[in-house]
Structure 1
Amino acid sequence: MALPRASVQLYSLAADFSADPRGSLDKLAALGLQHVEAFDFVRRPNEIRAALHAAGLESPTGHAPLLSDELWTPDGSIPTPAPEVVFDAAATVGITTVIDPFVAVDRWMTEDGVADIAERMNRAAEVAAGFGLRVGYHNHAQEFVATFDGQTAFERFVSLTDDTVEIELDLFWALAGEQDVPALVSRLGSRLVAVHVKDGVVPPSNPFAPDAPAFSSDSLDQRHAGEGDVPLGEALRAGAGAIRYAVIEYDNPPTNVFDDVAASLAFLRDGGFVR
Protein backbone atom coordinates (compact mmCIF):
# COMPACT_ATOMS: atom_id res chain seq x y z
CA MET A 1 0.00 0.00 0.00
CA ALA A 2 1.57 3.28 -1.15
CA LEU A 3 2.19 5.88 1.53
CA PRO A 4 1.43 9.57 0.95
CA ARG A 5 4.05 11.98 -0.28
CA ALA A 6 5.14 14.69 2.15
CA SER A 7 4.42 18.25 1.07
CA VAL A 8 4.28 21.77 2.53
CA GLN A 9 1.65 24.46 2.02
CA LEU A 10 3.73 27.48 1.00
CA TYR A 11 1.32 29.79 2.83
CA SER A 12 3.10 28.62 6.00
CA LEU A 13 6.15 30.58 4.87
CA ALA A 14 4.28 33.29 2.99
CA ALA A 15 6.54 36.19 3.99
CA ASP A 16 9.75 34.27 3.27
CA PHE A 17 8.43 32.93 -0.01
CA SER A 18 7.23 36.33 -1.23
CA ALA A 19 10.59 37.91 -0.38
CA ASP A 20 12.77 35.12 -1.78
CA PRO A 21 10.91 32.35 -3.65
CA ARG A 22 14.04 30.56 -4.85
CA GLY A 23 15.85 30.70 -1.51
CA SER A 24 12.78 29.51 0.39
CA LEU A 25 12.26 26.56 -1.92
CA ASP A 26 15.94 25.66 -1.73
CA LYS A 27 15.62 25.42 2.06
CA LEU A 28 12.63 23.06 1.72
CA ALA A 29 14.45 20.95 -0.84
CA ALA A 30 17.42 20.71 1.54
CA LEU A 31 15.07 18.99 4.04
CA GLY A 32 14.54 16.26 1.47
CA LEU A 33 11.11 17.42 0.34
CA GLN A 34 10.10 16.89 -3.28
CA HIS A 35 6.61 18.42 -3.21
CA VAL A 36 4.99 21.66 -2.09
CA GLU A 37 1.51 23.11 -2.32
CA ALA A 38 1.41 26.49 -4.04
CA PHE A 39 -0.80 29.45 -3.17
CA ASP A 40 -1.28 32.84 -4.85
CA PHE A 41 0.00 31.32 -8.08
CA VAL A 42 -2.53 32.83 -10.49
CA ARG A 43 -0.84 36.23 -10.73
CA ARG A 44 2.71 34.84 -11.09
CA PRO A 45 2.67 31.34 -12.60
CA ASN A 46 5.86 31.68 -14.62
CA GLU A 47 7.82 32.96 -11.62
CA ILE A 48 6.64 30.09 -9.43
CA ARG A 49 7.27 27.50 -12.14
CA ALA A 50 10.84 28.77 -12.58
CA ALA A 51 11.51 28.76 -8.81
CA LEU A 52 10.13 25.23 -8.44
CA HIS A 53 12.20 23.96 -11.33
CA ALA A 54 15.37 25.56 -10.00
CA ALA A 55 14.83 23.91 -6.59
CA GLY A 56 13.91 20.53 -8.06
CA LEU A 57 10.43 20.64 -6.55
CA GLU A 58 6.93 19.96 -7.86
CA SER A 59 3.57 21.39 -6.83
CA PRO A 60 0.94 18.77 -7.67
CA THR A 61 -1.69 20.62 -5.61
CA GLY A 62 -2.31 24.34 -5.26
CA HIS A 63 -4.79 26.67 -3.58
CA ALA A 64 -6.87 29.19 -5.52
CA PRO A 65 -10.44 30.55 -5.19
CA LEU A 66 -13.06 28.86 -7.34
CA LEU A 67 -16.32 29.11 -5.38
CA SER A 68 -16.65 32.76 -4.37
CA ASP A 69 -17.45 35.89 -6.39
CA GLU A 70 -14.87 37.98 -4.55
CA LEU A 71 -11.43 37.29 -3.19
CA TRP A 72 -10.28 39.03 -0.01
CA THR A 73 -6.78 40.53 -0.09
CA PRO A 74 -4.97 42.83 2.38
CA ASP A 75 -5.66 45.65 -0.08
CA GLY A 76 -9.39 44.96 -0.25
CA SER A 77 -11.71 42.57 -2.07
CA ILE A 78 -11.18 41.92 -5.76
CA PRO A 79 -13.22 39.86 -8.24
CA THR A 80 -12.24 36.20 -8.28
CA PRO A 81 -10.40 35.32 -11.51
CA ALA A 82 -12.36 33.34 -14.08
CA PRO A 83 -11.89 29.58 -13.73
CA GLU A 84 -10.17 29.44 -17.12
CA VAL A 85 -7.56 31.94 -15.87
CA VAL A 86 -6.98 29.91 -12.71
CA PHE A 87 -6.65 26.63 -14.58
CA ASP A 88 -4.35 28.06 -17.24
CA ALA A 89 -2.04 29.34 -14.49
CA ALA A 90 -2.22 25.99 -12.69
CA ALA A 91 -1.24 24.13 -15.83
CA THR A 92 1.71 26.50 -16.28
CA VAL A 93 2.94 25.78 -12.74
CA GLY A 94 2.43 22.03 -13.11
CA ILE A 95 -0.44 21.77 -10.63
CA THR A 96 -2.84 18.93 -11.33
CA THR A 97 -5.45 19.57 -8.60
CA VAL A 98 -6.66 23.11 -7.85
CA ILE A 99 -8.10 23.34 -4.35
CA ASP A 100 -10.41 26.08 -3.12
CA PRO A 101 -9.13 26.96 0.37
CA PHE A 102 -11.99 28.93 1.92
CA VAL A 103 -15.70 29.67 1.53
CA ALA A 104 -17.23 32.24 3.86
CA VAL A 105 -18.96 31.09 7.03
CA ASP A 106 -22.47 32.33 6.22
CA ARG A 107 -22.71 30.30 3.02
CA TRP A 108 -22.44 27.04 4.98
CA MET A 109 -25.37 27.80 7.27
CA THR A 110 -28.27 26.88 4.96
CA GLU A 111 -29.08 23.95 2.70
CA ASP A 112 -29.46 26.30 -0.27
CA GLY A 113 -26.07 27.80 0.47
CA VAL A 114 -24.38 24.42 0.56
CA ALA A 115 -26.17 23.34 -2.62
CA ASP A 116 -24.90 26.49 -4.37
CA ILE A 117 -21.31 25.79 -3.28
CA ALA A 118 -21.57 22.21 -4.55
CA GLU A 119 -23.09 23.32 -7.86
CA ARG A 120 -20.27 25.81 -8.39
CA MET A 121 -17.72 23.12 -7.63
CA ASN A 122 -19.27 20.71 -10.10
CA ARG A 123 -19.20 23.39 -12.81
CA ALA A 124 -15.57 24.15 -11.98
CA ALA A 125 -14.74 20.45 -12.27
CA GLU A 126 -16.15 20.39 -15.80
CA VAL A 127 -14.06 23.38 -16.84
CA ALA A 128 -10.95 21.98 -15.16
CA ALA A 129 -11.31 18.72 -17.08
CA GLY A 130 -10.81 20.67 -20.29
CA PHE A 131 -7.36 21.62 -19.01
CA GLY A 132 -6.59 18.06 -17.89
CA LEU A 133 -6.97 19.12 -14.23
CA ARG A 134 -9.09 18.28 -11.21
CA VAL A 135 -10.54 20.44 -8.46
CA GLY A 136 -10.86 20.00 -4.71
CA TYR A 137 -11.92 21.68 -1.48
CA HIS A 138 -10.03 22.42 1.74
CA ASN A 139 -12.02 22.88 4.94
CA HIS A 140 -11.74 25.03 8.02
CA ALA A 141 -14.24 24.63 10.87
CA GLN A 142 -17.22 26.63 9.56
CA GLU A 143 -18.30 23.67 7.43
CA PHE A 144 -19.15 21.76 10.62
CA VAL A 145 -21.42 24.29 12.36
CA ALA A 146 -24.73 23.59 10.62
CA THR A 147 -26.30 20.15 10.22
CA PHE A 148 -29.14 19.05 7.96
CA ASP A 149 -30.98 15.83 8.83
CA GLY A 150 -28.03 14.80 10.96
CA GLN A 151 -25.47 15.51 8.24
CA THR A 152 -22.91 18.29 8.59
CA ALA A 153 -22.78 20.97 5.92
CA PHE A 154 -19.37 19.60 4.94
CA GLU A 155 -20.57 16.06 4.36
CA ARG A 156 -23.68 17.35 2.58
CA PHE A 157 -21.34 19.24 0.24
CA VAL A 158 -19.31 16.09 -0.38
CA SER A 159 -22.48 14.13 -1.16
CA LEU A 160 -23.63 16.76 -3.67
CA THR A 161 -20.37 16.97 -5.60
CA ASP A 162 -19.19 14.72 -8.36
CA ASP A 163 -16.91 11.85 -7.41
CA THR A 164 -14.11 13.51 -9.39
CA VAL A 165 -14.07 16.40 -6.90
CA GLU A 166 -11.22 15.76 -4.50
CA ILE A 167 -11.15 16.54 -0.78
CA GLU A 168 -8.22 17.90 1.19
CA LEU A 169 -9.07 17.56 4.87
CA ASP A 170 -7.39 19.92 7.30
CA LEU A 171 -7.09 17.65 10.31
CA PHE A 172 -6.66 20.48 12.83
CA TRP A 173 -9.69 22.39 11.62
CA ALA A 174 -11.83 19.27 11.46
CA LEU A 175 -11.08 18.67 15.14
CA ALA A 176 -11.78 22.34 15.86
CA GLY A 177 -15.12 21.68 14.17
CA GLU A 178 -15.75 19.05 16.88
CA GLN A 179 -15.41 16.07 14.54
CA ASP A 180 -14.15 12.57 15.25
CA VAL A 181 -11.29 13.07 12.80
CA PRO A 182 -10.22 9.45 12.14
CA ALA A 183 -13.87 8.46 11.65
CA LEU A 184 -14.39 11.34 9.21
CA VAL A 185 -11.27 10.33 7.30
CA SER A 186 -12.65 6.79 7.01
CA ARG A 187 -16.04 8.01 5.79
CA LEU A 188 -14.47 10.16 3.08
CA GLY A 189 -12.78 7.09 1.62
CA SER A 190 -11.28 7.52 -1.83
CA ARG A 191 -12.54 11.11 -2.11
CA LEU A 192 -9.85 12.11 0.37
CA VAL A 193 -6.62 12.60 -1.58
CA ALA A 194 -4.75 15.01 0.70
CA VAL A 195 -4.67 16.10 4.32
CA HIS A 196 -3.20 19.11 6.05
CA VAL A 197 -0.95 17.91 8.83
CA LYS A 198 -1.38 20.58 11.47
CA ASP A 199 -1.29 20.36 15.25
CA GLY A 200 -1.73 22.52 18.31
CA VAL A 201 -4.14 23.39 21.08
CA VAL A 202 -7.62 23.14 19.60
CA PRO A 203 -10.21 25.73 20.73
CA PRO A 204 -12.70 24.30 23.25
CA SER A 205 -15.61 24.75 20.82
CA ASN A 206 -16.04 25.53 17.15
CA PRO A 207 -14.59 29.04 16.73
CA PHE A 208 -16.89 29.72 13.77
CA ALA A 209 -20.12 29.03 15.64
CA PRO A 210 -22.48 32.03 15.86
CA ASP A 211 -22.06 32.37 19.63
CA ALA A 212 -18.28 31.84 19.65
CA PRO A 213 -15.95 34.61 20.88
CA ALA A 214 -14.20 36.72 18.28
CA PHE A 215 -11.50 34.61 16.66
CA SER A 216 -8.28 35.21 14.74
CA SER A 217 -5.79 32.62 13.50
CA ASP A 218 -3.08 34.80 15.05
CA SER A 219 -4.32 33.59 18.44
CA LEU A 220 -3.81 29.90 17.64
CA ASP A 221 -1.39 27.98 19.82
CA GLN A 222 0.12 25.82 17.12
CA ARG A 223 2.63 23.08 17.82
CA HIS A 224 4.84 20.76 15.81
CA ALA A 225 3.05 17.69 14.49
CA GLY A 226 2.59 15.14 17.26
CA GLU A 227 2.82 17.74 20.05
CA GLY A 228 -0.78 18.96 20.16
CA ASP A 229 -4.36 17.77 20.43
CA VAL A 230 -4.90 16.41 16.92
CA PRO A 231 -4.85 12.58 16.49
CA LEU A 232 -2.65 12.87 13.43
CA GLY A 233 -1.26 9.35 13.46
CA GLU A 234 -4.66 7.72 13.88
CA ALA A 235 -6.13 9.90 11.13
CA LEU A 236 -3.31 9.14 8.70
CA ARG A 237 -3.67 5.42 9.36
CA ALA A 238 -7.43 5.69 8.78
CA GLY A 239 -6.76 7.17 5.33
CA ALA A 240 -4.08 4.69 4.32
CA GLY A 241 -4.29 3.87 0.63
CA ALA A 242 -6.38 6.93 -0.26
CA ILE A 243 -4.31 9.89 0.90
CA ARG A 244 -1.73 10.87 -1.72
CA TYR A 245 -0.27 13.96 -0.04
CA ALA A 246 0.38 14.76 3.62
CA VAL A 247 0.74 18.53 3.52
CA ILE A 248 2.45 20.23 6.45
CA GLU A 249 0.91 23.61 7.28
CA TYR A 250 1.17 26.25 9.97
CA ASP A 251 -1.32 29.11 10.13
CA ASN A 252 0.75 30.57 12.96
CA PRO A 253 4.29 29.08 13.01
CA PRO A 254 5.55 28.76 16.59
CA THR A 255 9.25 29.39 15.92
CA ASN A 256 11.36 29.64 12.77
CA VAL A 257 9.08 28.28 10.07
CA PHE A 258 11.76 26.16 8.41
CA ASP A 259 12.58 24.54 11.76
CA ASP A 260 8.86 24.04 12.30
CA VAL A 261 8.48 22.32 8.93
CA ALA A 262 11.52 20.13 9.67
CA ALA A 263 10.02 19.05 13.02
CA SER A 264 6.67 18.09 11.48
CA LEU A 265 8.43 16.33 8.62
CA ALA A 266 10.41 14.30 11.18
CA PHE A 267 7.12 13.26 12.81
CA LEU A 268 5.79 12.02 9.48
CA ARG A 269 8.98 10.19 8.58
CA ASP A 270 9.69 8.70 11.98
CA GLY A 271 6.11 7.46 12.27
CA GLY A 272 6.30 5.80 8.88
CA PHE A 273 3.43 7.92 7.59
CA VAL A 274 5.07 9.16 4.37
CA ARG A 275 7.45 7.84 1.77
Structure 2
Amino acid sequence: MATPLGVQLYTVRDALAADRDGVLARLAGIGYTAVEPFNPTDDPAGFRRVADDLGLAVSGTHAIQLLDGETAPVFEAVATLGTDLAILPAGIPQEDFAGRDGIARAADLLNGLAEDAAKHGLRIGYHNHWWEIEPVFDGRHAIELLAELLAPEVELEIDTYWAAVGGADVPALLGRLGNRVTALHVKDGPAVKDEPHVAVGAGVMPVPEVLAAAPGAQRIVELDSCATDLFDALAASRAYLAGLGEA
Protein backbone atom coordinates (compact mmCIF):
# COMPACT_ATOMS: atom_id res chain seq x y z
CA MET A 1 0.00 0.00 0.00
CA ALA A 2 1.27 3.46 -0.88
CA THR A 3 0.66 5.96 1.90
CA PRO A 4 -0.35 8.59 2.71
CA LEU A 5 -3.38 8.98 0.46
CA GLY A 6 -3.39 12.42 -1.11
CA VAL A 7 -5.56 14.91 -2.97
CA GLN A 8 -4.46 17.06 -5.90
CA LEU A 9 -5.66 20.47 -4.79
CA TYR A 10 -6.65 21.49 -8.32
CA THR A 11 -9.77 19.44 -7.52
CA VAL A 12 -10.90 22.09 -5.04
CA ARG A 13 -9.28 25.09 -6.72
CA ASP A 14 -12.29 27.42 -6.42
CA ALA A 15 -12.93 26.67 -2.77
CA LEU A 16 -9.21 26.86 -2.08
CA ALA A 17 -8.99 30.36 -3.53
CA ALA A 18 -11.77 31.48 -1.18
CA ASP A 19 -10.61 29.75 2.02
CA ARG A 20 -7.35 27.84 1.80
CA ASP A 21 -7.06 26.99 5.48
CA GLY A 22 -10.68 25.88 5.72
CA VAL A 23 -10.37 23.65 2.67
CA LEU A 24 -7.24 21.96 4.01
CA ALA A 25 -8.97 21.38 7.34
CA ARG A 26 -11.96 19.88 5.54
CA LEU A 27 -9.76 17.49 3.57
CA ALA A 28 -8.01 16.41 6.74
CA GLY A 29 -11.40 15.90 8.35
CA ILE A 30 -12.44 13.58 5.51
CA GLY A 31 -9.38 11.51 6.32
CA TYR A 32 -6.84 12.46 3.68
CA THR A 33 -3.31 12.64 5.02
CA ALA A 34 -1.49 14.24 2.08
CA VAL A 35 -2.02 16.98 -0.46
CA GLU A 36 -0.46 17.90 -3.78
CA PRO A 37 -0.52 21.66 -4.39
CA PHE A 38 -0.41 23.22 -7.86
CA ASN A 39 0.92 26.70 -7.12
CA PRO A 40 4.00 26.29 -4.95
CA THR A 41 4.98 29.96 -5.02
CA ASP A 42 1.71 31.10 -3.43
CA ASP A 43 2.66 31.60 0.26
CA PRO A 44 4.60 28.34 0.65
CA ALA A 45 5.61 29.08 4.25
CA GLY A 46 2.02 29.79 5.28
CA PHE A 47 0.77 26.72 3.44
CA ARG A 48 3.37 24.57 5.18
CA ARG A 49 2.38 25.83 8.62
CA VAL A 50 -1.28 25.00 8.06
CA ALA A 51 -0.54 21.60 6.53
CA ASP A 52 1.80 20.70 9.39
CA ASP A 53 -0.77 21.74 11.98
CA LEU A 54 -3.35 19.49 10.29
CA GLY A 55 -0.99 16.55 9.89
CA LEU A 56 -1.07 16.80 6.10
CA ALA A 57 2.05 15.76 4.24
CA VAL A 58 2.93 17.46 0.96
CA SER A 59 3.70 14.47 -1.26
CA GLY A 60 4.81 16.64 -4.17
CA THR A 61 3.67 19.72 -5.99
CA HIS A 62 2.76 20.55 -9.54
CA ALA A 63 5.01 23.37 -10.71
CA ILE A 64 4.08 24.73 -14.13
CA GLN A 65 5.80 27.89 -12.89
CA LEU A 66 9.12 26.23 -13.73
CA LEU A 67 8.49 27.24 -17.34
CA ASP A 68 7.94 30.92 -16.53
CA GLY A 69 11.61 31.90 -16.37
CA GLU A 70 14.00 31.68 -13.45
CA THR A 71 13.62 28.28 -11.79
CA ALA A 72 15.48 28.93 -8.52
CA PRO A 73 12.62 30.77 -6.76
CA VAL A 74 10.23 27.97 -7.71
CA PHE A 75 12.54 25.30 -6.39
CA GLU A 76 13.00 27.27 -3.18
CA ALA A 77 9.22 27.42 -2.76
CA VAL A 78 8.93 23.69 -3.40
CA ALA A 79 11.45 22.99 -0.65
CA THR A 80 9.63 25.36 1.70
CA LEU A 81 6.45 23.36 1.19
CA GLY A 82 8.26 20.35 2.66
CA THR A 83 8.54 18.15 -0.41
CA ASP A 84 11.41 17.29 -2.70
CA LEU A 85 9.31 16.49 -5.77
CA ALA A 86 8.35 19.12 -8.35
CA ILE A 87 6.09 17.83 -11.13
CA LEU A 88 5.66 19.48 -14.50
CA PRO A 89 1.93 18.98 -15.22
CA ALA A 90 1.79 20.47 -18.71
CA GLY A 91 3.52 23.15 -20.74
CA ILE A 92 5.11 20.97 -23.39
CA PRO A 93 3.31 21.56 -26.69
CA GLN A 94 0.76 18.86 -27.37
CA GLU A 95 1.98 18.51 -30.94
CA ASP A 96 5.47 17.58 -29.73
CA PHE A 97 4.16 14.17 -28.74
CA ALA A 98 3.02 13.46 -32.30
CA GLY A 99 6.57 12.85 -33.54
CA ARG A 100 9.90 11.51 -32.37
CA ASP A 101 11.69 14.85 -32.71
CA GLY A 102 9.16 16.54 -30.46
CA ILE A 103 9.38 13.75 -27.91
CA ALA A 104 13.15 14.19 -27.88
CA ARG A 105 12.68 17.92 -27.22
CA ALA A 106 10.35 17.12 -24.34
CA ALA A 107 12.92 14.75 -22.86
CA ASP A 108 15.65 17.38 -23.18
CA LEU A 109 13.49 19.89 -21.32
CA LEU A 110 12.74 17.49 -18.48
CA ASN A 111 16.31 16.30 -18.22
CA GLY A 112 17.49 19.90 -17.99
CA LEU A 113 14.98 20.66 -15.27
CA ALA A 114 16.14 17.57 -13.39
CA GLU A 115 19.71 18.86 -13.46
CA ASP A 116 18.56 22.21 -12.09
CA ALA A 117 16.40 20.53 -9.45
CA ALA A 118 19.28 18.38 -8.23
CA LYS A 119 21.25 21.52 -7.39
CA HIS A 120 18.50 22.29 -4.87
CA GLY A 121 18.25 18.73 -3.57
CA LEU A 122 14.97 18.19 -5.42
CA ARG A 123 13.50 15.76 -7.95
CA ILE A 124 11.55 16.32 -11.15
CA GLY A 125 8.49 14.44 -12.35
CA TYR A 126 6.19 14.68 -15.35
CA HIS A 127 2.40 14.31 -15.36
CA ASN A 128 0.58 13.18 -18.49
CA HIS A 129 -2.71 14.01 -20.12
CA TRP A 130 -4.23 12.14 -23.06
CA TRP A 131 -2.00 13.66 -25.72
CA GLU A 132 1.10 11.77 -24.53
CA ILE A 133 -0.87 8.55 -24.87
CA GLU A 134 -2.85 8.82 -28.12
CA PRO A 135 0.14 8.82 -30.51
CA VAL A 136 1.40 5.27 -30.98
CA PHE A 137 4.74 4.35 -32.55
CA ASP A 138 5.29 0.69 -33.44
CA GLY A 139 2.82 -0.37 -30.77
CA ARG A 140 4.16 1.95 -28.06
CA HIS A 141 2.52 5.07 -26.68
CA ALA A 142 4.40 8.35 -26.98
CA ILE A 143 4.98 8.46 -23.24
CA GLU A 144 6.87 5.19 -23.47
CA LEU A 145 9.24 6.70 -26.01
CA LEU A 146 9.61 9.69 -23.74
CA ALA A 147 10.48 7.45 -20.80
CA GLU A 148 13.29 5.83 -22.77
CA LEU A 149 14.88 9.26 -23.36
CA LEU A 150 14.57 10.55 -19.81
CA ALA A 151 17.48 10.62 -17.43
CA PRO A 152 17.11 7.92 -14.75
CA GLU A 153 16.27 10.48 -12.07
CA VAL A 154 13.23 11.89 -13.90
CA GLU A 155 10.01 10.37 -12.54
CA LEU A 156 6.54 9.93 -13.95
CA GLU A 157 3.24 10.72 -12.29
CA ILE A 158 0.78 8.82 -14.42
CA ASP A 159 -2.71 10.22 -14.61
CA THR A 160 -4.47 6.91 -14.93
CA TYR A 161 -7.74 8.40 -16.17
CA TRP A 162 -6.20 10.43 -18.96
CA ALA A 163 -4.12 7.43 -19.92
CA ALA A 164 -7.36 5.48 -20.39
CA VAL A 165 -8.94 8.35 -22.33
CA GLY A 166 -5.87 8.33 -24.57
CA GLY A 167 -6.46 4.69 -25.42
CA ALA A 168 -4.07 2.85 -23.13
CA ASP A 169 -4.58 -0.41 -21.32
CA VAL A 170 -3.60 1.34 -18.12
CA PRO A 171 -2.42 -1.62 -16.01
CA ALA A 172 -0.35 -2.88 -18.94
CA LEU A 173 1.13 0.57 -19.53
CA LEU A 174 2.07 0.91 -15.87
CA GLY A 175 3.69 -2.50 -15.99
CA ARG A 176 5.84 -1.50 -18.94
CA LEU A 177 6.85 1.82 -17.38
CA GLY A 178 7.79 0.03 -14.18
CA ASN A 179 9.68 1.84 -11.44
CA ARG A 180 9.76 5.05 -13.48
CA VAL A 181 6.23 5.61 -12.14
CA THR A 182 6.39 6.97 -8.60
CA ALA A 183 2.92 8.53 -8.34
CA LEU A 184 -0.55 7.94 -9.74
CA HIS A 185 -3.45 10.30 -10.20
CA VAL A 186 -6.41 8.12 -9.28
CA LYS A 187 -9.65 9.33 -10.79
CA ASP A 188 -12.77 7.90 -12.37
CA GLY A 189 -15.56 8.75 -14.75
CA PRO A 190 -16.91 7.69 -18.17
CA ALA A 191 -13.42 7.82 -19.76
CA VAL A 192 -14.64 10.38 -22.27
CA LYS A 193 -12.99 13.78 -22.83
CA ASP A 194 -15.04 16.76 -21.66
CA GLU A 195 -17.39 14.65 -19.50
CA PRO A 196 -17.38 15.30 -15.73
CA HIS A 197 -15.51 12.97 -13.45
CA VAL A 198 -17.09 10.96 -10.65
CA ALA A 199 -15.96 9.59 -7.31
CA VAL A 200 -13.29 6.93 -7.57
CA GLY A 201 -15.02 3.58 -7.84
CA ALA A 202 -18.18 5.00 -9.41
CA GLY A 203 -16.99 5.10 -13.03
CA VAL A 204 -15.57 2.75 -15.62
CA MET A 205 -11.94 2.68 -14.49
CA PRO A 206 -10.57 -0.72 -13.36
CA VAL A 207 -9.22 0.87 -10.22
CA PRO A 208 -8.07 -2.27 -8.35
CA GLU A 209 -6.14 -3.52 -11.38
CA VAL A 210 -4.60 -0.09 -11.97
CA LEU A 211 -3.40 0.18 -8.38
CA ALA A 212 -2.06 -3.36 -8.39
CA ALA A 213 0.07 -2.53 -11.44
CA ALA A 214 1.97 0.17 -9.52
CA PRO A 215 1.98 -1.04 -5.91
CA GLY A 216 4.68 1.33 -4.69
CA ALA A 217 3.40 4.51 -6.31
CA GLN A 218 1.92 7.36 -4.32
CA ARG A 219 -1.89 7.51 -4.70
CA ILE A 220 -3.36 10.96 -5.32
CA VAL A 221 -7.08 11.47 -5.90
CA GLU A 222 -8.11 14.12 -8.41
CA LEU A 223 -11.31 15.25 -10.06
CA ASP A 224 -10.78 17.81 -12.81
CA SER A 225 -14.52 18.45 -12.82
CA CYS A 226 -17.52 16.89 -11.14
CA ALA A 227 -21.29 17.05 -11.58
CA THR A 228 -21.86 16.49 -7.85
CA ASP A 229 -20.47 18.10 -4.71
CA LEU A 230 -16.69 17.85 -4.88
CA PHE A 231 -16.18 17.21 -1.19
CA ASP A 232 -18.80 14.47 -1.20
CA ALA A 233 -17.02 12.89 -4.16
CA LEU A 234 -13.68 13.14 -2.38
CA ALA A 235 -15.16 11.52 0.71
CA ALA A 236 -16.67 8.71 -1.37
CA SER A 237 -13.36 8.26 -3.18
CA ARG A 238 -11.48 7.89 0.07
CA ALA A 239 -14.06 5.44 1.43
CA TYR A 240 -13.78 3.32 -1.71
CA LEU A 241 -9.98 3.31 -1.60
CA ALA A 242 -10.03 2.51 2.11
CA GLY A 243 -12.14 -0.51 1.24
CA LEU A 244 -9.34 -1.61 -1.06
CA GLY A 245 -6.81 -1.20 1.74
CA GLU A 246 -5.41 2.00 0.23
CA ALA A 247 -6.16 4.36 3.11
TM-score of the superposition, structure 1-length normalised? Answer: 0.85
Question: Residues 55 and 123 from structure 1, CA distance in 2 versus in 1: closer, same or farther, beyond 3 angstroms?
Answer: same
After superposing the two structures, state which structure 1 stretch, 48-57 or 226-235, moved more.
48-57
For residues 31 and 190 of structure 2, the distance between their equivalents in structure 1, rounded to whole angstroms, comes to 28
Corresponding residue of 2:46: 47
Query: How many residues align structurally?
Result: 246
Letter in 1 for 2:232: D
The reply to whether residue 90 of structure 1 matches residue 78 of structure 2 is yes
Residues 118, 66 of structure 1: CA spacing in aligned structure 2 closer, same or farther, 3 A cutoff? farther
Q: Secondary structure at the match of 2:111?
A: helix
1:222 corresponds to 2:206: no
Give the 5 Å matches for 1:1-12.
2-12=1-11
Further displaced range: 105-114 or 135-144: 105-114
Does the 8 A contact of 1:225 with 1:263 survive in 2?
Answer: yes
Amino acid at match of 2:171: P
Amino acid at match of 1:250: L
Give the drift of 1:112: 1.3
Give the TM-score normalised by the residue count of structure 2: 0.94
Q: How does 1:161-200 map to 2 (within 5 A)?
A: 161-200=150-189
Deviations 1:130-177 (A, max 9, x none): 111111011110002323343321111111001211111111100001
The 8 Å contact of residues 35 and 58 in structure 2, kept in 1 or not, is answered as: yes
- Whether 1:263 and 2:246 are equivalent positions in the alignment is no
Paired with 2:42 and 2:202, the residues of 1 have a C-alpha distance of: 36
1:156 maps to 145
Against the structure 1 CA distance between its residues 56 and 92, is the aligned structure 2 distance closer, same or farther, given a 3 Å change threshold?
same
Aligned to 2:37, the other structure's residue is in SS state: strand
CA contact (8 A) 1:66 1:121 kept: no
Structure 1 residue 66, shift from structure 2 partner: 6.6
Change in CA separation of 1:185 and 1:121 when aligned onto 2, cut-off 3 Å: same
| Identity among equivalent pairs (%) | 37
* Letter matched to residue 62 of structure 2: H
5+ residue gaps, structure 1, are 69-79, 208-218
What pairs with 1:21-100 in structure 2 (closer than 5 Å)? 21-65=20-64, 68=67, 80-100=68-88
Q: CA deviation at 1:20?
A: 0.7
Per the alignment, residue 212 of structure 2 pairs with 237
Any idea what the Cα deviations from partners look like across 1:216-235, whole Å, max 9, x if unmatched? xxx32311111111111101
Matches of residues 101-180 of structure 1 in structure 2 within 5 Å?
101-102=89-90, 103-180=92-169
Q: Which amino acid aligns with 2:196?
A: D
Structure 1: how far apart are the matches of 2:223 and 2:172? 23
SS at match of 1:143: coil
Q: Could you say which structure has the higher helix fraction?
A: 2
AA matched with 1:95: T
Larger CA deviation: 17-26 vs 49-58: 49-58
Distance 2:3 2:22 in 1: 26
CA distance, structure 2, for counterparts of residue 227 and residue 235 of structure 1: 15
Cα distance in 1 between the residues matched to 2:152 and 2:44? 28
Give the gaps of 5 or more residues in structure 2.
Answer: none
